[in-house]
Amino acid sequence: TAASAASPASARGKGVEFIEEMRVAAMRLHTREQARDGKKEAPMEPPVAKWQPTVEGYLRFLVDSKLVFDTLDDIVHRATVPWYAEFQNTGLERSEPLQKDLAWFSLQGYAIPEPSAPGITYASYLEELSDKDPQAFLCHFYNVHFAHTAGGRIIGEKVAEKIHIHRELEFYQWEGDLSLLQQNVRGKLNQVASGWSRAEKDTCLDEMEKAFASSIDLRRHMFP
Ligand code: HEM
């Protein structure tokens, strides 16, 4: 709601579903140009119109993204924290589609790079966080999957146009009704967070900016 969007951190929460608090925290880090509900003055990354991507840079982004999605899948399947298992097989997984996209690029004659520093650094940070700070970890799980369904698709479209890739990548296609898959994950986030203290919820929300910065780092090969 508009009221919670404007409220300070100390007034967080009262009667609002936790997923709504997460969305409000995420929208605070967007500009109005990026998303209608955006609140931030200056963007955390340059607008896509100013990027000068190359196929090579895009491939680095795809490879690093795959490493990050693989890592999240591994973590929820290992489920060292029991409720991680709630987030297995959500339908939002992107590892297989990315594998297919990379195979397609390879067939076109492009060399598929090894993962690079932003992806490797983020993947090991996620591993570490999943062990020692489950609430903060879940913030990343949410952002990696949901950012990709929103801004990620916009970025994908514009980059494809700039580098003349006339094929809709599997990365941007989901099996089944995407909004239902998202609703299902939102429900699980609410359900899991309903067992958290206010301090634990705040730990999750306070990780939002780091989740944004890590996501932006994966795209650095595509902008100056
Ligand atoms: C939602 C754009 C970067 C996380 C959205 C929405 C748009 C958007 C259009 C949908 C807003 C709505 O439903 O009203 C963009 C653009 C970006 C960007 C253009 C950069 C060029 C990011 C980053 C993150 C992020 C870096 C975090 C890693 C989210 C989340 C949502 C969202 C969590 C809510 C999704 C949902 O609940 O359906 N973004 N975004 N975005 N974005 Fe971004």
Atom of ligand 1 nearest to the CA of 34: 19
Nearest residue by C-alpha to atom 38 in ligand 1? 146
Q: Is the pLDDT of residue 220 over 50?
A: yes
The string of pLDDT tens digits covering residues 46-83 is 999 999 999 999 999 999 999 999 999 999 999 999 99
Name, in order, each residue with C-beta under 8 angstroms of 195's C-beta and a sequence gap of 6 or more.
none
Task: Reply yes or no on whether the pLDDT at 1 is more than 60.
Answer: no
Q: Whats the size of the chain, residue-wise?
A: 224
Q: What is the pLDDT of residue 13?
A: 67
Residue 108 scores a pLDDT above 90: yes
DSSP string computed for 140-195? HHHHHHHHHHTHHHHHHHHHHHHHT--S--GGG--SS-HHHHHHHHHHHHHHHHTT
What is the domain partition of the chain in residue ranges?
A: 54-222
Indicate which residue's Cα is closest to atom 8 of ligand 1.
151
d(CA 103, CA 79): 30
Q: Is the CB of 151 under 6 A from ligand 1?
A: yes
Residue type, 16: V
Q: How far is the CA of 108 from the centre of ligand 1 (A)?
A: 31
Residue 11 has pLDDT above 90, yes or no: no
Position 2 pLDDT exceeds 90: no
In tens, the pLDDT along 14-24 reads: 678 999 999 99
Pocket perturbation via mutation, ligand 1, pick of 31, 34, 125, 139 by most ligand atoms within 8 A of CB: 34
How much is the mean pLDDT over the chain?
A: 94
The H or E element containing residue 97 is helix 95-107
- Cβ(150) to ligand 1 under 6 A? yes
Is the shortest distance between the CB of 34 and ligand 1 below 6 Å?
Answer: yes
CA–chain centroid gap for 163, Å, is 23
Contact 216 CB / ligand 1 (< 6 Å): yes
Query: What is the tens place of the pLDDT at every residue in 162-213?
Result: 999 999 999 999 999 999 999 999 999 999 999 999 999 999 999 999 999 9
Ligand 1 and 147: CB distance under 6 A: yes
User: How do residues 112-137 score in pLDDT, each as one tens digit?
Assistant: 999 999 999 999 999 999 999 999 99
* Numbers of helices and strands, H then E, in the chain: 10, 0
Does residue 65 line the site of ligand 1, with CB under 6 A? Answer: no
Measured in whole angstroms, the distance separating CA 180 from the mean position of its chain's CA atoms is 18
d(CA 205, CA 26): 9
Neighbouring-strand partners of residue 158 = none
| CA of residue 103 to ligand 1 center, whole Å | 28
| Cβ of 92 below 6 Å from ligand 1 | no
Tokens coding 184: 């299902």
CATH 3.30.470.20 for domain 54-222: no
